[in-house]
Amino acid sequence: MHAVQRGWGGLAMRQFLLLATLILAALGFSATYAAAHNVTAGDAGYIQQIWGVKLIPFAYLGAKHMVTGYDHILFLFGVVFFLYRAKHVATYVSIFALGHSTTMLAGVYFGWNVNAYIVDAIIGLSVVYKALDNLGAYQRWFGFQPNTKLATLIFGFFHGLGLATKILDYDIPQDGLLPNLMAFNVGVEIGQMLALAMILIVMGFWRKSPFFWKHAYTVNVMMMSAGFVLIGYQLTGLFTTT
């Protein structure tokens, strides 16, 4: 019996360290990279040079963005942290996808000119919000629970707008714009599903261990810290570039 418990303890600790490493990696990435939504120079050059409908390349770029979008992954991680049923996960991920897709498509198509630093700071705030929600802070501080579905939709709007502001930095050809944007969005959703699958696999094993509740608080505090770093970085960029 003790051997089994020690085995569970070692497994739980490895899972906890893996989660902690992922969060710390996101924390370090946010401090050393301009923004999680940035389009790489190579991708930007490709976007500017192509003309016409290119569905597969844009779908690939969308999936690549989501898989490397640390702010998206952190927020999704927080959203599913205490969701145990598949239908609940599907509901919240669908709400987030609806918000994300709406503003990404509309923002690029209609050329919304929004300050990228402010939008990305709000995206960092979404990570802080979700971590505090998981910690039960709003009930303790204010005596009420915010509507989690509405919050997921609203922050989804900002996540999509954050990507739109970066895409608009590059002159995307108007020929084939809408189909290419739709393909990009499909790629984003594919990337989101891949990232979510990885998160759920790790979370599934971690939740089965007796150490889940012991480390849940610490992990959410780390996630909240990463969100504050994202906010601080973007606000610093805002004030130093104006």
CA distance 128 to 16: 20
pLDDT tens for 163-205 read: 888 788 777 777 878 898 899 899 999 999 999 999 999 888 8
**N-to-C CA span, the chain:** 63
CA distance 164 to 123: 13
pLDDT tens for 111-155 read: 888 898 999 999 999 999 999 999 999 999 999 889 999 999 999
Residue type, 139: Q
For residue 102, what are the domain limits?
A: 2-240
The number of distinct structural domains making up the chain is: 1
What is the torsional sign of CA 56, 57, 60, 62?
negative
- pTM of the entire structure? 0.80
**Any idea which residue has 């902690």 for tokens?**
20
